[in-house]
Structure 1
Amino acid sequence: MSMQPISRELLLQQLQWRYATKRFDPTRPISAEDWAVLAEVLVLTPSSFGLQPWKFWVVTNPEVKAQLLHHSWKQSQIVDGSHLVVMAAKKDLSADDVDRHVARVCEIRNEPLEKHAGYRKSMIRALVPPPAGFDINEWAAKQVYIALGNFMTAAAVMGIDTCPMEGIVPAEYDAVLGIAEQGYKTVVACVAGYRAADDKYAVTPKVRFATSDVVVEV
């Protein structure tokens, strides 16, 4: 697969352009073609051990959005954005989850399970059961935030707006979407769509500390 990198200038331009959109245009849906790319971005997100301890519920149904609005501090992004992505972490990761991953590795690479016995053993030793002081559910939630960042950056490069949202009630999201019974737990949500013309924050200068204050070169 050949690599075709975007320019440095374009990348920084799009990251300067993006912001946590407060008002979305409810008349502008993301096209099916563009959404298919963003869905693949979620799939391609890296994770520790490659275990992908997550699942993403994508909500476009207006009635379901309206239900979730009541559990989102009435933030209008929930109903006005094109796609609401609910990012959930796998609860209580087990040996079965490790085996599922190893089986997928063997399927994709057309390799025997025996070749990955050592890899499986190292994952089991590190995660199952969790070592003392290691919260495996917190670990899984941190993996989900990698997906969030990956998703928002890719969307910005494509000229699609996003708004990450922790101002939600995870347990209620779990109940509305049937997430808990599948063994997952809502961590964070992200709305994707297009900014409204009257969102004042679109032209508000971005505030960041100087690069020298946050990037330390050794």
Structure 2
Amino acid sequence: MNIIKSLQWRYATKKFDDSKTLTEEKLNILKQAFNLTATSFGLQTITMVIVTDKTIRKKLVEHSYNQKQVLDASHLLVICINEDIKDDDVDMLFDSIHSIRNTPETILSPYRSDLKITMQQMSKDERQEWSNRQAYIALGNLMTVCAVENIDSCPMEGFSSEMFDEILKLNKKKLKSVLLLPVGYRAEDDMFASFKKVRKEVDKSVIEL
């Protein structure tokens, strides 16, 4: 399928076939796609947690408005943000640039300092909101990759972040869950799979100047 046909094929899967599981190859594609997602400044303040354990996911269902996709999907992807952004996060980025690209510190130093100042001038809530926007970029990227790979998915915002953080012990990793993406394969009797897409005409959603 070409990319447009793939995007026409995808939909927010309401019912997964719980007997079908992603291969390690497919799962690795999603891991790589997440890691390659564009983020502002290249500062990756997002983490993807992959939940396979059905016992854990059964506990999570009641904290996601009883949406069964959380349990029935092959895997549950939980997109998280850092609880905060510290100078260490900025240093980790620029140290990696220096190591991988051999960029001299004399060139990197002013950019390193400017980014630290930029983050320091934000409140903690503003830094979290900044990271939230990166999480949505990752979600969109993953959904597109899923469509290309013929993997079904269902983006979710409706869940208790606090309870997910507690059950998955994300607090200990200084992470905060913000988005869910159950992935797997649609059930044959999911009636939503056959629904026609409802979208504006392209000339109504795109303005050319």
TM-score with structure 1 setting the length? 0.92
Q: Secondary structure, in 3 states, of the residue corresponding to 1:135?
A: helix
What pairs with 1:79-90 in structure 2 (closer than 5 Å)?
Answer: 79-90=71-82
Gaps of 5+ in 1: 1-8
Equivalent of 1:175 in 166, 181, 190: 166
Q: Counterpart of 1:54?
A: 46
1:205 pairs with 2:190: no
Further displaced range: 45-54 or 66-75 = 66-75
CA distance in 1, matches of 2:98, 2:161: 35
Q: Counterpart of 1:144?
A: 135
What amino acid maps onto 1:183 in structure 2? K
Shift of 1:95: 1.0
Do the aligned partners of residues 134 and 85 (structure 1) sit closer, same or farther apart at CA in structure 2, a change above 3 Å counting?
A: closer
Q: CA offsets per residue over residues 168-203 of structure 1, 9 Å max, x none?
A: 100000001111222221111000000000000000
1:64 pairs with 2:47: no
What is the root-mean-square deviation of aligned Cα atoms in Å?
1.6
Shift of 1:91: 1.9
Q: Counterpart of 1:164?
A: 155
Q: How many residues align?
A: 209
What pairs with 1:67-146 in structure 2 (closer than 5 Å)?
Answer: 67-130=59-122, 135-146=126-137
CA distance in 1, matches of 2:136, 2:207: 23
Shift of 1:126: 1.7
Q: Counterpart of 2:27?
A: 35
What amino acid maps onto 1:166 in structure 2? E
- Moved runs in structure 1, 4+ residues, more than 6 A? none
CA distance in 1, matches of 2:36, 2:29: 10
CA distance in 1, matches of 2:162, 2:113: 34
Identity among equivalent positions (%) equals 37
Gaps of 5+ in 2: none
What amino acid maps onto 1:84 in structure 2? L
Q: Secondary structure, in 3 states, of the residue corresponding to 1:165?
A: coil
Q: CA offsets per residue over residues 41-60 of structure 1, 9 Å max, x none?
A: 00000000000111111001
